[in-house]
């Protein structure tokens, strides 16, 4: 009896390139349609992306994890009322609620005037923050301590956009803000963490004044490499007193955060 099964799927001639990327390429075809396996994979990826957007921000869990590492936290909220308003009113996601604003104003001088303020928000993917924000923040704050830089309590903002970090840092009189935020989910990356850095943050700063490190996640940019890149940008932002498009990434391959760098021969 002939046990050989004949496939009805026509492979894409570039199928071997799939080993180099999670992008949806070289899917093959079955007649004039996608193969069933690829169609099901697409529906699963789409469901995971929706879940990442709609999953609530577990601020208590993130805050507890940071505090166990010795970092004090503040829990804040943007000006949006719910997830639906967050998705349709980006302007409200860029500002704090009045209650959160008052909470920051009421803090004592020990929380003000730090070199760096780290802000964490779920943005468009709570999953990205749940999986990546704590290890990233802990490693980065440790590097700041090693470098002799001060930092404010870590501020967690529910339903925030990138610019909400500017208001937090301005109210805390911080010299520089680092925002860790869930990125808009892609169909192969529902858990990407974005990192934004702004020198001299204040309400009204535009995106050209920020530096961005994207796709921090397992399978993307590692936490270790992301922290090294951020530390390099922070060092140079303080040295040049600027950030954004005028601050170029020229990090040498052997760079170590806040350590004397070896001289080039």
Distance, CA of 73 to CA of 66 (rounded, Å): 7
Q: Name the helix (H) or strand (E) containing 47.
A: helix 36-54
Lowest mean pLDDT among 14-23, 204-213, 214-223: 14-23
pTM exceeding 0.85: yes
Query: What residue segments make up the domains of the chain, in order of their start?
Result: 57-240
CA 50 to chain centre: 18
List Cα–Cα distances, 10 to 16, 22, 31, 35, 41, in angstroms: 14, 20, 8, 9, 17
Sequence-separated (6 or more) residues with CB below 8 Å from residue 231? 140, 143, 144, 147, 257, 258
In angstroms, the first-to-last Cα distance of the chain is 71
- Predicted confidence (pLDDT) per residue in 148-167, tens digit: 999 999 999 999 999 999 99
Locus of tokens 């397992």? 218
155 is in an annotated binding site: no
Tokens in use for 38? 């690829």
- Note the pLDDT tens digit of each residue in 68-102: 999 999 999 999 999 999 999 999 999 999 999 99
Q: Work out the pLDDT band at 261, boundaries 50, 70, 90.
A: low
**Residue 212 annotated in ligand binding:** yes
pLDDT at residue 7 in the model: 77
Q: Quick one: which H or E segment has residue 74?
A: strand 73-77
Which pLDDT band holds residue 19 (cuts at 50, 70, 90)? confident
User: Token pair for residue 252?
Assistant: 């040498």
Is residue 170 a known part of a binding site? no
Using the predicted structure, report yes or no on whether residue 265 has a pLDDT greater than 50.
Answer: no
Q: Do 170 and 155 meet the contact criterion of CB atoms below 8 Å apart?
A: no
* CATH number for the domain whose boundaries are 57-240: 3.40.50.11240
Q: Look up residue 140 and give its DSSP letter.
A: H
From 3-12, 192-201, 237-246, the region with the lowest mean pLDDT: 3-12
Sequence-distant (≥ 6) Cβ neighbours of residue 2 within 8 angstroms: none
């Amino acid at each position: 009896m002939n046990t050989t099964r004949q496939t009805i799927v026509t492979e894409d001639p570039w199928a071997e390139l799939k080993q180099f990327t999670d992008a949806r390429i070289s899917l093959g075809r079955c007649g004039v349609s996608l193969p069933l396996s690829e169609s099901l994979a697409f529906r699963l990826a789409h469901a995971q992306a929706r879940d990442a957007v709609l999953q609530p921000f577990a601020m208590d869990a993130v805050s507890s994890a940071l505090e166990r590492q010795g970092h004090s936290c503040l829990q804040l909220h943007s000006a949006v009322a719910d997830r639906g308003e967050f998705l349709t009113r980006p302007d409200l996601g860029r500002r704090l609620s009045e209650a959160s604003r008052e909470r920051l104003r009421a803090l004592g001088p020990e929380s003000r005037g730090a070199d760096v303020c780290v802000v964490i928000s779920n943005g468009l993917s709570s999953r990205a923050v749940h999986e990546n924000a704590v290890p990233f923040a802990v490693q980065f704050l440790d590097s700041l301590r090693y470098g002799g830089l001060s930092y404010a309590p870590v501020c967690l903002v529910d339903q925030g956009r990138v610019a909400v970090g500017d208001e937090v840092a301005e109210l805390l009189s911080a010299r520089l803000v680092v925002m860790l935020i869930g990125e808009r989910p892609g169909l192969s990356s529902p858990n990407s963490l974005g990192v934004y850095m702004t020198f001299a943050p204040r309400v009204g700063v535009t995106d050209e004044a920020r530096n961005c490190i994207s796709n921090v996640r397992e399978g993307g940019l590692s936490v270790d490499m992301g922290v090294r890149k951020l530390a390099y940008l922070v060092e140079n932002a303080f040295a040049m007193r600027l950030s954004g498009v005028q601050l170029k990434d020229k990090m040498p391959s052997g760079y170590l955060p806040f350590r004397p760098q070896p001289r080039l021969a």
